[in-house]
Structure 1
Amino acid sequence: MKKFILIIFSFVVLVSCEKELNLAPISQVGSNGFFENTNAFTQGINGVYASLGVTGSQDYPSYYVILDESRSDNIYSPGQSGVRDWNAINNFSSTLATLGTINNIWNIAYNGIMRCNTILDQLVENGGVISPAGLKAQYEAEARFIRAFLYFDLVKWFGDVPIFDKFVSPTEALEIGRSPVTDVYNLIISDLEFAIANLPASFSGADQGRATSMAARGILAKVYLTKSGPKLHPNGPCVASGEYDKALTLLNEIINSGQFSMVDDFESIFDYNNEGNSEIVWDLQFISGGVGAGGYYPTEYYDEGWARVNLPFAGGNPGDGSKRISEDLLNSYDDADLRVEPTFQLNYVGDSGDTIDAKFYDKFMDKDFAGGDRFDWSLNYPILRYTDVLMMKAECILQGASGSQSDVDDIVNNVRARAGLDPISDINLDVLLAERRKEFAGENLRWDALVRTGKVLEVMQNFKNTEDSAEKLEEIKADFIIYPIPQKQIDVKKGLYTQNQGYK
């Protein structure tokens, strides 16, 4: 059901020279006659989706694990030797600008954006060849959806970023500086509104996994939630716009569509035999056995010692590089919570028969579905779940959007009931965040929720005070709400970009 991502985006040539901004394909694809029929545009739009798949030795969701989950209070991975990128990120180091992870995600996101821009430019020039005619608007909407999705990640990670709304060459890119977050949001919102108006509510068969109008509504609701958050950083993703009612309207449209529902069994949401279930609003597609089609992100979670005795291939986090679940997160669960067992691996039997204390996520792993190697997991990655839609609705209400306390309590208690827990009442924002944390542990949503609610500095300072036994975490300050601009980008042209405050 997820074949469309496998078509090769053959006409894209990526810039790799370190002396140039790695922002765009260098081939002028329109001049060689590639886009001369519907099939060429179909290959092009499939290549846009491929930018969210496997790139080099990782896939796009791997960066959520490192940049979001490892940054949050869900993971404690100080690393005594400190050689892994996620150790420095976990430790709030001020010297992240030279990390490969930071540079790679910038390049991956902008190359994806330039793929989108290539399609959009060619739709203007040659879109008349597409048949049926309605497919042209759909392809434009899909390209604009992915562009908005990537820009939203860039804003959350880097704050002010350069805007490219059409194909540009690397030379032209050298003249385009960073734009304010509010300007980037204007492009994101425009793109997602177009996607809502021009995409179907669902796809089926081989097209399942393409962007839909419901997915666009959900992402746009997250945009409004984030944009509305308190402005703790002068160039951060939250600008205190107070647009919670706009987010609520979009979330209610998803809810009232009747298209989605909470599944009864929490574990079945992530079952390899149950992909595309009623809980999934939008996910990234992976399939085992195809070249560059399987996912790597599950490998980001587990320890290599566990892999040696449980998998037919090597991989996982080595030694003190383990992305260990924080005691703070584990202690937040009730003993009766049905989500603990399918979310965590707390120990395993090692090579010598000893029981190893582990504490890593196994929500996305099933040994019976291990592919040919550590890059070949077939489980789709959930970007937006229906339960998230419901809990974002509760968040909007608590932030002042229309709705009642009973609406909030009902949403949270439905989630708790599935987890085997008793109902609670008078839920406030802190309680909602605690409930979200347990529901979405390992899904890389915690950091974003802390940032957009303005709780991030308080929560992470408490985490440092109570969890940092290795005394590796640096000062928790507003500067670190976003990441540094990659040093390679700073060095390309003096004065084009200035570094984000607080980074060396």
Structure 2
Amino acid sequence: MKKLVIIFALSLWVLSSCDNFLAETPKDEISVDQLIETPDGARGLVNGLYRDGQGAGFYDSGGFGGADVMMGGYMSGYFDNEGKGERIQGQVAQDLQVGPEVLNQFFDGWWSGHYEVISRANTALKYIPDMSGMSENEKTRLLAEARFFRALNYFALVKFFGDVPLVTEPVESLEGIEVERTNTGAVYSQIIDDLNWAIDQEILPEGPFPMNGYRITKGAAYTLLADVYLQMSGFPLQETDNYANAADAARSVIQAGGHELVQHGETVEESAYNKLRTSDTDREYVYGIEYNAEISPNDNPRITIPGVVRPEGINYGRTLNAYRPIEEYTWFYNQDEDLRIQNQQLFYNSFSRNGENYDFGEWAPYLWFEENAIFETGRGERDIRVYRYAEVLLIAAEAIARSEGVTNEAVSYLADVRSRAYWQTDRSEIEAELTGLSEQEFVEEVWKERLRELALNFKIWSDIQRTRMYPVASENNPGEVNFVDVVGQSNNWGQTYEEHHLLYPLPDDEIQTNPALEQNPGY
């Protein structure tokens, strides 16, 4: 936790005014009062949370290691990174050798990045209520947004590391900085309190994220809350009463009526998945990380083309397929009926340009393919969606089935997502196949749909963590998926999962600097 003091001091300096850049006052003496003594300073503090989102740079894919958020895909054994020879995290994840020393710098970046956002949120929550020159409505809105981001980052930390230090006040001195780990249940309680507070103020706007200036909406807060309750219902807490809470939170988004699934156009080139690829303004968008080609570009387009392929006119010095679904992952899809696994939908394995065909011999993410960035500017501009309405429907379907049974409502929500993918199958046929299933059979159909629909939303490892079940596809019958106990199962790279693999180790640097911390078992 000592590192948090340094991060906090640096963030104060970054966010402070440039007017006094040459002043003699040492930078480490900048006070919090100086930082947010004006409404503009307070707004800037909260606005900065949007760029960092879930830890600074967590979704950024610069370099050869892929984005930090991709680590779960590598841990699942179903995604590969062509750059893993130069950045080791992909390789050690597949080898299940994610020790605290081996990946100390990597995990320490996660830890510090998430706590930096939490620290800024804590500062806003302490000082904005007493600020003058700002309306009470604006104060409340900024406080609700700060609570959302504190909840989002603690949710990530508790999933990654289990028990973590729970800090809800700004770190403003060296006193009491050696904070012990707080049990997982208490961390979740704080997350829920933050989200309920943000929702209960009735200050967050209704409607989709992009229609509200890309600021946190009530739907975004309810979606995160639904996800939190769903995760709590599974391992390690197994608080199954929270399935009902997850269902209620997801229903709040659905019944508000502001969101909807993007629908297909007249051709496969105008499919819903290609619309999602090329737009940041649709009503399926619940919450995401914004990018701007001129200010803060998205580097994902450069990791959508395998390094061995070099199309003429490409504007990146080097490309690589940093989040490659291995062949076994493609078997999760019915390759005859499911549009998502057709070429140039969620993924692609070939494309044509200027009359020349390029065949990869492997699959690559197409959802992040931006032709203008790849061949013109070298700077991507599409957002990364952390939550989509499709996930809300899937959370609702699973949570309702677990808490109320396989009702027509649960079937309808799952059919919404599946029928869009099975675009040539009559919806009534899909609903009929789902209606007669047992609770467990139906829930497994939801898990399958999460694998397929959310393939590039980085959910696979969280699902394995909470269910303790590992998906196994069938080469002979693509689309058929079985779920087996993850502990004792091979990860497709010749390694076998043990219990301790389901949490990451605490960074070694944090253990060394904070004697109050204890390492996770097995590391």
Q: Normalised by the shorter chain, which TM-score bucket? A: 0.7 to 0.9
Consecutive unaligned residues in structure 2, runs of 5 or more: 1-9, 16-26, 265-271, 472-483
Measure how far apart 1:209 and its partner are. 1.5
Alignment match of 2:490 (pick from 464, 486, 503): 464
Measure how far apart 1:310 and its partner are. 6.4
Measure how far apart 1:75 and its partner are. 1.3
- Superposed, which structure 2 residues align to 1:70-85 within 5 Å? 70-76=74-80, 83-85=87-89
- Superposed, which structure 2 residues align to 1:36-185 within 5 Å? 36-52=37-53, 55=56, 59=60, 63=67, 65-76=69-80, 83-99=87-103, 100-124=105-129, 126-130=130-134, 132-169=135-172, 171-172=174-175, 174-185=177-188
* Residues 1:358 and 2:359 aligned together: no
The residue number in structure 1 matching 2:220 is: 215
Alpha-carbon spacing, 1:119–1:392, altered in 2? closer, same or farther (3 Å): same
Secondary structure of 1:281's aligned partner = strand
* Residues 1:311 and 2:317 aligned together: no
Alpha-carbon spacing, 1:373–1:186, altered in 2? closer, same or farther (3 Å): farther
- Does the CA contact (< 8 Å) of 2:195 and 2:221 recur in 1? yes
**Bigger relative contact order (CA 8 A; separation at least 6):** 1
Distance in 2 of aligned mates of 1:162 and 1:369: 41
Distance in 1 of aligned mates of 2:153 and 2:46: 15
Q: Letter of the aligned partner of 1:339 in structure 2?
A: R
- Does the CA contact (< 8 Å) of 1:189 and 1:220 recur in 2? yes
The residue number in structure 1 matching 2:326 is: 326
When normalised by structure 1's length, the TM-score is 0.82
Measure how far apart 1:394 and its partner are. 0.9
Alignment match of 2:456 (pick from 442, 449, 467): 442
CA deviations over 1:246-276 (Å, ceiling 9, x no partner): 111111111110101111122244233x212
Alignment match of 1:409 (pick from 387, 408, 411): 411
- Does the CA contact (< 8 Å) of 2:171 and 2:177 recur in 1? no
CA deviations over 1:70-107 (Å, ceiling 9, x no partner): 22243145989585212212322142544232121111
Alpha-carbon spacing, 1:300–1:179, altered in 2? closer, same or farther (3 Å): farther
The residue number in structure 2 matching 1:478 is: 499
CA deviations over 1:314-358 (Å, ceiling 9, x no partner): 24437xxx54312222122222321123111224699x9984423
Secondary structure of 2:235's aligned partner = coil
Q: Letter of the aligned partner of 2:70 in structure 1?
A: I
CA deviations over 1:292-311 (Å, ceiling 9, x no partner): x2223454554333466563
Consecutive unaligned residues in structure 1, runs of 5 or more: 1-8, 15-25, 232-237
- Superposed, which structure 2 residues align to 1:11-22 within 5 Å? 11-12=12-13
Secondary structure of 1:275's aligned partner = coil
Percent pairwise identity = 23
Alpha-carbon spacing, 1:64–1:121, altered in 2? closer, same or farther (3 Å): same
Measure how far apart 1:143 and its partner are. 0.6
Distance in 2 of aligned mates of 1:182 and 1:391: 24
Q: Letter of the aligned partner of 1:276 in structure 2?
A: T
Distance in 1 of aligned mates of 2:69 and 2:424: 28
Measure how far apart 1:359 and its partner are. 1.8
Measure how far apart 1:404 and its partner are. 3.3
The residue number in structure 1 matching 2:398 is: 395
More moved, 448-457 vs 219-228: 448-457
Q: Letter of the aligned partner of 1:224 in structure 2?
A: Y
Secondary structure of 2:287's aligned partner = strand
Distance in 1 of aligned mates of 2:29 and 2:47: 19
Q: Letter of the aligned partner of 1:450 in structure 2?
A: I
Distance in 2 of aligned mates of 1:80 and 1:41: 41
Secondary structure of 2:244's aligned partner = helix
Distance in 1 of aligned mates of 2:184 and 2:61: 22
The residue number in structure 1 matching 2:521 is: 501
- Does the CA contact (< 8 Å) of 2:468 and 2:486 recur in 1? no
Q: Letter of the aligned partner of 2:145 in structure 1?
A: E
Distance in 1 of aligned mates of 2:381 and 2:314: 15
Measure how far apart 1:181 and its partner are. 0.7
Distance in 2 of aligned mates of 1:261 and 1:323: 28
Measure how far apart 1:49 and its partner are. 1.6
CA RMSD in angstroms, aligned pairs only: 3.3
